[in-house]
Structure 1
């Protein structure tokens, strides 16, 4: 409510309006998926060059500790130089931004894209979600403003973000869950599905385009789970709560770590120091703890018999440390994908300690607890847990396990740095409600 009184509800869109706006929504979906695919493809080519082709050409082991340290340190220097010297300075610090924020000036996009590609290819423990949503939103808002001037900027932003989320997860369901809270909290009239219609059109177009281009696979093969038993529910409560507590612990020290790195002031020094620390953590944890964590999660679950409980604990602690450092040291990227890896590793620790816990239940519970702590969204945490395990039978258990996990995180610190500009009312506003 403003000083002038409550916002006047807007009339619900007509069927004709929804049909007409479906055309730009479809195009926004396709373009968002193409942008994500292009970013991933460039990062993948650079990753292969740095971690496979170059070591092979010079006769070294790309998985050796000294190479991991060298690549991550050089990556930190490259990101620091980009943020320091290039126009746009890599956009806002990802540690200070929500998943969906107001569009950036288009001039910021090239340096933001470069920092994201460098981090993804260099093995930094961050995902692509924050940068690619910001890139797509900024470009598409500017484009639609020229072509379809009557389409509201906020609607374009919602469609671009929804399309990008749909493309990342390969389904519009994730976008529906994320944006339910946004559109429900926004002023305006009409049924919820009237207001979700266009973002879901964009999300469906984005997910189908990405499926055709790259066939993304979020799920991990694991033993089937069909029968729910009460001990499984109790185990899910314990695992999800433990994972949420670890996520809260990370959020508690996040401002301190961020402040420590940024006390170096110069962006080059901040990211160079972060790259060196990430390199040391990579030496300790090994290649399995590098990158955003999606492929590494599948590898870890597939090879779970080769890891002892202690090794799994080390992997979890190293990955949490790597996420803290990467998010604090000026790298641009999202925190959800590394959180999913950490949650899966926590689930493997649980099955190592108590072999009777079904693997899908343990993995889903760990993913749910860590994701709800990092993303602060119960719906997306349930969706990701279900997507990883590909087991419908775990859904009712996750709907119960999210309750104690949410009680842990609801009044706890967030994985978000409140910048000085934010305190002054100058920061880029977030559209995603804060718990």
Structure 2
């Protein structure tokens, strides 16, 4: 027994406060700068979106969301982004199908093209969000600045601070960043206590979230009808809807390498991206204008009137948005997959409510989002957080935790919606 105890490595000592205090100021600066860049890109994209989808069609006497205009605009967006990817230095970064939230450190020359491609995508209507490219840009900028201003700091700290700051700004709270970092640390051996490792990233995430909150006031609460005390029927509904959402999203994940391979065979961004734009335009014609863009504003419109569409209309929007996410992520548009996945989950949850009115809208929405996000992101804590944040009901949290279990069994160990360089899916 004594020998066994002697063989055990002593626990790592906690980092003293004096080792953590110097990280506070750099983390605060990173948080503010990362948030400002996100807000700037989002604002420019919204201004361009108003021009493309309001001012221009009104001036031409064309319906803003007519089938003709949606097909024309999405095709034109594919051409514009294709030109950037073709001609910009660094080709607007790596193939977005091969990247996730954990961004590589890109050369600075790549960043202008990546930012331009992202703004054009956000304004033009493809079903992707800003998270992946904005994280990549912030990581590159913070890494470059950090190495020059504080060369003695460990190089690995800057990407973590930039990612945490951007995620905090995206969700308006540092909680999502803390959960994501904790999940990442659980997957690898780290030195010292957990809170020592997340201290500086949490400062950066808090600064990013506060900057976004003060300047933009983001909110994920959909304002759904309040949910009371759960019963056995709610538990059954939660488990079924989350599992269906996971299975539905896994169908898109399974198809991802094949759809990506089909666009890759076109061998040129000026062919792949316009072709993707045409397909997205046709999908928008099928699903309606709510299936355009990253989906956050459109989710609010759906949730504002859960009885405003039939079950068939909700189901159509669910499938069309998922297909649009699959196509946009496969053909080369620069963007992330979290926000359109949220739309898919919300539409699925409202489909369940329309089919079975006894399913409370809050339960349907939260568990639908949970199941879809688990399959698309493979991030358990972030999926739980986003699902809970949408309904802002403490009573739903226990149901979400239970519903996540069968959904996770359906997705764990299976292909992810991210590819290797050779086009095969990461597991």
Do 1:73 and 1:279's aligned partners in 2 also have CA atoms closer than 8 Å? yes
TM-score, normalised by the number of residues in structure 2: 0.95
The one of 263, 271, 290 aligned to 1:269: 271
Q: SS at the partner of 2:89?
A: coil
Q: Could you tell me which residue of structure 2 aligns to residue 426 of structure 1?
A: none
User: What does 1:308-387 correspond to in 2, within 5 Å?
Assistant: 308-387=310-389
Contact 1:32 1:160 in 2 (8 A): yes
CA distance in structure 1 between the aligned counterparts of 2:73 and 2:35, rounded to whole angstroms: 29
Alignment correspondent of 1:115: 117
Q: Is the 8 A contact 2:257 2:424 kept in 1?
A: no
* 2:164 aligned residue: 162
Distance 1:82 1:300, change over 3 A: same
**Contact kept? 2:129, 2:336, Cα under 8 Å:** yes
Given candidates 136, 154, 160, the residue that maps to 1:152 is: 154
Deviation at 1:422, TM superposition (A): 9.1
Alignment partner, residue 427 of structure 1: none
Q: String of CA shifts for 1:47-104, please: whole Å, max 9, x gaps.
A: 0110011112222211111001000000000111111111010101111112112211
Residue number in structure 2 paired with 1:173: 175
Change (3 A) 1:285 1:155: same
Contact kept in structure 2, 1:11 and 1:188, CA below 8 Å: no
Is 2:20 the counterpart of 1:23? no
- Cα distance in 1, alignment partners of residues 329 and 115 from structure 2: 16
2:5 is matched with which residue? none
Instruction: Note the alpha carbon deviations across 1:166-191, whole angstroms, 9 max, x for none.
Output: 00000000001111022233443211
Q: Relative to structure 1, is the Cα distance of residues 380 and 233 closer, same or farther in structure 2, using a 3 angstrom cutoff?
A: same
Mapped to 2, the partners of 1:104 and 1:119 lie a distance apart of 20
The whole-number CA distance in structure 2 between the counterparts of 1:398 and 1:240 is 9
1:306 positional shift: 2.3
SS at match of 2:183: helix
Tell whether 2:82 aligns with 1:80: yes
1:396 aligns with 2:398: yes
**Which residue matches 1:414?**
416
8 Å contact from structure 2 (residues 366, 387) kept in 1: yes
SS of 2:316 mapped into structure 1:
helix
Answer whether contact 1:10 1:188 (CA < 8 A) is retained.
no
- Report deviation, 1:414: 1.1
Q: In structure 1, which of residues 193, 203, 223 is the aligned counterpart of residue 225 of structure 2?
A: 223
Taking a change above 3 Å as real, the CA distance of residues 156 and 421 of structure 1, as seen in their structure-2 partners, is farther
* 1:207 alignment partner, one of 182, 189, 209: 209
Indicate the SS of the match to 1:72: helix
What is the distance in 2 between the residues matched to 1:358 and 1:111? Answer: 45
1:309 shift after superposition: 1.0
Distance of 1:187 and 1:402 partners within structure 2: 26
- Residue in structure 1 matching 2:105, options 103, 106, 119: 103
2: distance between equivalents of 1:151 and 1:128? 29
| Partner Cα separation in structure 2 for residue 127 and residue 13 of structure 1 | 37
Aligned with residue 67 of structure 2, among 65, 68, 74:
65
Q: What residue in structure 1 maps to residue 128 of structure 2?
A: 126
Matched-pair contact (CA < 8 Å) for 1:184–1:192: no
- Residue matched to 2:42: 40
> What is the alpha-carbon distance in structure 2 between the residues aligned to residue 21 and residue 11 of structure 1?
19
Q: Quick one: distance in 2 between partners of 1:366 and 1:188?
A: 34
* Aligned counterparts of 1:188 and 1:385: Cα–Cα separation in 2: 29
CA shift in 2, pair 1:102/1:186, >3 Å: farther
Which position in structure 1 is the counterpart of 2:249? 247
Q: Secondary structure at the match of 1:13?
A: coil
Answer whether contact 2:307 2:354 (CA < 8 A) is retained: no
CA offset digits 1:128-159 (Å, max 9, x no partner): 11000000000010011100112212111101
Structure 2 residue aligned with 1:281: 283
Q: C-alpha offsets along residues 366-410 of structure 1, whole Å, 9 cap, x if unaligned?
A: 000000000101111110001111111100000000000000000
Cα distance in structure 1, aligned partners of 2:155 and 2:258: 36
What SS class does the counterpart of residue 97 from structure 2 fall into? helix
Deviation of the 1:417 alpha carbon: 1.5
> How far apart, in 2, do the equivalents of 1:253 and 1:345 lie?
21
Would the aligned equivalents of 1:292 and 1:337 in 2 still touch at CA under 8 Å? yes
Q: Give the Cα separation in 2 of the matches to 1:301 and 1:126.
A: 20
Report if the CA contact (8 A) 1:103-1:137 is conserved. Answer: yes
**CA–CA distance in structure 1, aligned partners of residues 305 and 76 of structure 2:** 30
Alpha carbons of structure 1 residues 92 and 12: separation in structure 2 relative to 1, 3 Å: farther
TM-score by length of 1: 0.93
Question: Quick one: distance in 1 between partners of 2:175 and 2:388?
Answer: 12
RMSD of aligned alpha carbons:
1.5
Q: Which runs of 5+ in 2 are unaligned?
A: 1-10
| Range with bigger deviation, 222-231 or 360-369 | 222-231
* Inter-partner Cα distance in structure 2 for 1:182 and 1:245: 24
Matched, 1:305 2:317: no
1: CA distance between counterparts of 2:204 and 2:185? 15
